[in-house]
Amino acid sequence: MNPKVDFFFNNANKWQEEVRKLRKVALDSPLTEELKWGCPCYTFQKSNVVLIHSFKEYCAFLFFKGALLHDNKGILIRQTKNVQAARQIRFTNVQQIAKLEPILKAYIYEAIEVEKAGLKVSFKKTSEYIIPEEFQKRLDEFPLLKTAFDTLTPGRQRAYIFYFSQPKQSKTRNLRVEKYMSQILNGKGLND
């Protein structure tokens, strides 16, 4: 147990019993408990393996390379269509965790083997994502914007593509593009 992480378990109001049980499961393995992103993170040889986090509707075990695990039980969830590597197992009560405890431990050990083997998730390249028409039009009209966008890191490029693609209406997509053009020109990411 890492005392730096205790605050998370002491303040997990709605899911306190559940996250404490998940902590016991994680600590009953060769993983090291650390605090990352304000959540308990369990690592193997400095590689992130499992994260415990909680939301309004559930708490979860998140496997960083869950896409590489053999999910024989069909319990791993991809949070959104854009998530490429991570997978969650969600819980709404401590009984679910107790029932799945042997499976959770097996998944942890499989995730450790993934790390030992040095396996990596193959991420889609930014060029494989469809740039929304409204943004593509601006890139074509303003060569400086295209150059600035091309010099952003792949992660920043994807963030803009996802953000500009979300609205259903073209008008809203255009407004988003207009709002962030200067930020792109300044070499900044969506959340910088």
Q: What is the mean pLDDT of residues 45-68?
A: 95
CATH number of 3-117: 3.90.1150.200
| pLDDT tens for each residue of 14-36 | 899 999 999 999 999 999 999 99
pLDDT at 13 exceeding the cut of 90: no
The ranges assigned to domains in the chain are 3-117, 126-185
pLDDT at site 106 = 96
pLDDT the model gives residue 67: 93
**pLDDT tens digits, residue range 103-153?**
999 999 999 999 999 989 887 777 778 899 999 999 999 999 999 999 999
CB 4 within 8 A of CB 35: yes
Dig out the tokens for 166 from the structure: 């979300």
Other Cβ atoms within 10 Å of 43 Cβ, number: 17
Cα 121-83-75 angle, rounded to 5 deg: 85
SS3 77: strand
Is the CB of residue 8 less than 8 Å from the CB of residue 19? yes
